[in-house]
Structure formats: C-alpha cells, structure tokens
Amino acid sequence: MEKIYDLLVIGAGPGGYVAAIKAAKLGMKTAVIENREVGGTCLNRGCVPAKAMLHAAKLYQEVLSGEQFGILVEEVSFDYGKVMSYKNETSESLRLGVEQLLKGNKVERLQGIGTLLKDGRVRIKTKEGEEILQAKNILLATGSKPVLPPIEGIHLPGIMTSDEMFQLDHVPESLLIIGGGVIGVEFATVYSSFGSKVTLLEAEERLLPGLDKEISQNIKLLLKKRGVDIHTRAFVQKIEKVDCEFICTFLEKGKDQEKAEVRKIPYLLSATGRIPNTHGLLEETTLLEMDRGRILVNENFETSMPNVFAIGDVIGGSQLAHVASSQGICAVERMNGKEPSIDLSVVPSCVYTDPEIACVGITEQEAKEKGIETVTGKFLTHANSKSLITKEERGFVKVVIDKETNVLLGAQMMCARATDMIGEMGTAISNKLTAMQLLKAMRAHPTYNESIAEALEDCNHGAIHAL
Ligand code: FAD
C-alpha cells in the first residue's frame, strides 16, 4: 500500500533537512529522501569542509607569526593528512547531528533517488528496488552542482571542481584557479597559506565582483601579499595537457592592450559557478516550469504543479546555505497557512578569508543607482582595541544610512569576526532600525563590534577613536 505523508522532501541539504524538521515540529508527518549523505553540499562538499580548511590554514599562519605575541615555536610545520582528517571529522560529526535531529523529530529518512512523477506522486529508487510515495505536499530541495565553463580542454582528466579539491590528499606545489568569486578566493586563501604558488584568474574587472569595490581592492592586495598571482579581465582560451601538466592559455585584457599569457601548472581548479541540480528529479513528461535549468517558483515557493514546492539552490538566486534553510522554513510555514517568519529580502553574504568579509543590505553605490541619498560611515579597525590586541588591525567597517530617515540600509565589513558581526546589521536592516537606535545599546569593551558603533558615529559627528 502507498504511504501518504503530509510532506515529502527530496534532498536533505540545509534547505531540505531544515524544512523537514520545521514541518515535523509543526505536526506534519514528514519524510526526506536523500541519495547521498544528509547535509547536502553544505556539510559534505561546501561550507563546512571549506571553513574547516580555512580555519586550519589561518591557525597555521597564526602559529607562524606567534613570535609577535611572545610565543616561540620551533620548527612550525603541518601534516596535511591530519588537516584532511580534521575536516572530514567535522563534517562527519555535523552529519551525525543532522541524522539525530531527523530521528528525534520523527522525520522518516529514506535513502535513494527521488523522482517527481507527472501525476504528483514520487518514485523512490533504492538499492532494493522502487517504491511509489504519496504526499499532500512535496518539497524539491535538490541543490546545485559545479558547472564547467565552455573552454577548450576544460573536460581534460585531472581538472578539478570544488568537489574534487576536497579530496586532494596533499598540498599542490602550484595551483591555477579559474574564477575569482567566493569559492575561488577561499581556495586561494587556503592553499597560499599552506605554501602553494597560486595563480588566480578572473574574467571580471575585479575579484569578488558582486561585492563592494573597496573589498575587492583590499582582497587583491592581501592575496598578492600572500604571493598569489592575480589576473583580472583574464579570459582562458584553451587548456592542454602535456605529460602531467596543464598548459593554460589566457588573454589578459588591459585598458589599451591585450596580452596572451601561458601558465604551465600541474593542478587546475575550475571555480566558475554552480547550476541547479535536477538530475533524476523529474519524470521526462513532468510539466514543471523551468528556466535555464532552475525550477520556477512564486513568492510562496510554489512551483507550477499543485502542492509541489521548491527551495534552495535548485531555484537559483543566492546560492547560500542560510538562504536555502530560511526558504525551507518559510515554505513550510506557508503550507501551514502561516505568514513567513523570516525576512528573505535581507541576505547576509560572507567570505571566510583573512580578514573575513561580510556584507548585508545595499552598498553606497547601489543606493546611488536607486536614487537614495545616503550617508556612509566608516571606521578603520586599526583603532579598535580588540583588533590591536589580537594584531588583526587591518580592515574596516562601513555602514550606509538613509540620509532622510536615518535608517540603516547596508553594511560592508572586512575585518576580524566580520562574519559574526554582520548578524547585528541584518537584524537592524530587517527591523528598519535607525543609526540612533543602534547607538543606544552600549557595546562591551574590548570587542571587535565596538567598530560598528564607531562607524555609526562617523555618520553622526565622527567616530570617537578617529581623527
Ligand atoms: P544542497 O546542499 O546541494 O543539497 C541538496 C541535496 O539533494 C544533496 O544532498 C543531494 O545529494 C540531494 N539530491 C539531489 N537530487 C536528489 C534526488 N533526485 N533524490 C534524492 N536526493 C537528491 N553557502 C553558505 O551559506 N556559506 C558558505 O560558507 C558556503 N561555502 C560554500 C563553499 C563551497 C566550496 C561550495 C561548493 C558551496 C558553498 N556554499 C556556502 C553554498 C551552499 O553549500 C549551498 O548554497 C547549499 O548547500 C544549498 O543548499 P540546498 O539544500 O539547496 O542544496
């Protein structure tokens, strides 16, 4: 007999598993189908392993510079195998946590490939065979996968995406990364910290092209200082393989001239974006509206099929774990006739470089383009006590305030703990708090987030600890 659920989720990434738990908490009989490990890209091939590697890389650099704190360590070195074990164990322990949460919330966990049939039912293909499942609501949360750019030679064996990069069991002596977005810049940080000679190619005018210009300029300087060979407006023409090495030919377009460059390199990472993953998800004749591979949804995450919802990377937009989870919660709330509890228009975005980068809301430039008059406050963190104590003084905090209403519109930070501090700014923007309201609360001393108050003061009469 067919089982009938209130909610059947396909994909147990941060979108799917969070939605399933939320649904169970709201009393829905829920099951989640996953064909690999729970936690999806984020826990297994994305956020978590990347941040574990970045943490180890930062720690190594800190130990190397321990002398400035009076800490003397003779012969500092690292064991990359152990770095990999630490990364794997971190993912494993979070995965186990998710499994326990699903179990504890009585979410049925089904292992196999889920396919949405054209009659609105779901087929699950397991090792044992096939089963047809029925649910009042279906949530598609199958995520995304790396995409390779249309470059001659890009499919040569040995060219890696982030998926393969996490499996590498040694630090490459040299590495060429195509793509200077978040993933490319984070891998460049990891491997340059461990001593690789990294070359980073970006087709746009600047690294991290989606972020504030000043952040792009600073990250370029910082990576250059680490020895990363950076080329912007660099267009890869072709990749060849001779013996065990890749020969990468690219065109670098300067202001007045073009320059052809060639790099001979043993390791090549393509970090050029991700596409929605609908492989195996849809029966051929399923009439689900799609646009260039992504599933189309309305503001309630409803697809073109009744009672079929979709969230996360598979619907495109901001491909971030917290976006997928928040959309999952809101979609489940909608299924239960509730107003969404999360403001999905305010999306923090972070890059875990050293120093960290974090942004939320709009930049000064974006406000200008929208015709909003703003005041920008900025504080250089070299005058922040905590940053001085920890010798992480390089960086800044910027806030963008609506000139007329004094409401905070955006914040951009590049400094220690920026990724933690951005939360306060997101809360303020979602709740339309003014600079004055934000300044009302005292901040503990010495903390990094005193820099936020200073940047806000800068919009007012000027920061206290700045001339
Ligand atoms: P996914 O996490 O991709 O999960 C989808 C799941 O569905 C997968 O487990 C897949 O196996 C399963 N699935 C697919 N098809 C089927 C099927 N037919 N049947 C059953 N199961 C199926 N985001 C951040 O917010 N912060 C970061 O720091 C960050 N760092 C990243 C670093 C890297 C290197 C990468 C690659 C990504 C990073 N991301 C980060 C992005 C983040 O990982 C994704 O946005 C997030 O995982 C998307 O969640 P999701 O639930 O939509 O999909």
* pLDDT over 70 (residue 464): yes
Residues 418 and 389: beta-carbon distance below 8 Å: no
451 contact partners, CB below 8 Å, separation of at least 6: 379, 381, 384, 387, 397, 413, 415, 421
Residue 183, marked binder: yes
Alpha carbon distance 213, 218 (integer Å): 9
Pocket lining: 15 vs ligand 1, CB cutoff 6 Å: yes
In this structure, of 46-55, 61-70, 254-263, 452-461, the range with the lowest mean pLDDT score is 254-263
pLDDT category at 2 given cuts 50, 70, 90 is low
Cα-to-centroid distance, 34 and ligand 1 (Å) = 12
pLDDT tens digit string along 225-243? 999 999 999 999 999 999 8
Residue 410, marked binder: no
Q: Report H helices in 194-248.
A: 213-225
- Going from the C-alpha of 17 to that of each of 24, 49, 101, 284, the distances in angstroms are 11, 18, 9, 26
pLDDT tens digit string along 320-351? 999 999 999 999 999 999 999 999 999 999 99
* pLDDT over 90 (residue 285): no
Task: Check if the interface score ipTM surpasses 0.90.
Answer: yes
Cα dihedral across residues 224, 363, 15, 117: positive or negative: negative
* pLDDT over 90 (residue 254): no
* pLDDT over 70 (residue 268): yes
Residue appearing with tokens 């942004």: 359
* Burial of 235: CB neighbours in 10 Å, binned 0-12, 13-18, 19+: middle
Residue 424 has what pLDDT? Answer: 98
Cα dihedral across residues 282, 14, 424, 437: positive or negative: positive
Pocket lining: 328 vs ligand 1, CB cutoff 6 Å: no
Angle between helical axes of 14-25 and 321-335 (0-180°, round to 10): 30
The pLDDT of 10-14, averaged and rounded, is 98
pLDDT tens digit string along 401-411? 999 999 999 99
pLDDT tens digit string along 50-105? 999 999 999 999 999 999 999 999 999 999 999 999 999 999 999 999 999 999 99
Cα-to-centroid distance, 33 and ligand 1 (Å) = 14
Pocket lining: 183 vs ligand 1, CB cutoff 6 Å: yes
Active site residue 155: no
3-state secondary structure of 369: helix
Residue 460 has what pLDDT? Answer: 87
Residue 257 has what pLDDT? Answer: 83
* pLDDT over 70 (residue 1): no
Mean pLDDT for all residues in the chain? 96
For the chain, list the domains and their CATH numbers.
4-146+275-336 (3.50.50.60), 162-272 (3.50.50.60), 355-459 (3.30.390.30)
Residue 362, marked binder: no
Question: Any idea what DSSP says for residue 334?
Answer: H
Residues 359 and 374: beta-carbon distance below 8 Å: no
Which residue has the least CA distance to atom 29 on ligand 1? 47
Residue 51, marked binder: yes
Residues 307 and 334: beta-carbon distance below 8 Å: no
Question: Which helix or strand (DSSP H or E) is residue 124 part of?
Answer: strand 122-125
Q: In ligand 1, which atom is closest to the CA atom of 328?
A: 51
pLDDT tens digit string along 426-447? 999 999 999 999 999 999 999 9
State the catalytic residue, choosing from 231, 445, 461, 465.
Answer: 445
Q: In ligand 1, which atom is closest to the CA atom of 51?
A: 28
Could you give the percent of the chain with pLDDT greater than 90? 94
Alpha carbon distance 220, 185 (integer Å): 9
Pocket lining: 353 vs ligand 1, CB cutoff 6 Å: no
Cα-to-centroid distance, 12 and ligand 1 (Å) = 9
Cα-to-centroid distance, 319 and ligand 1 (Å) = 8
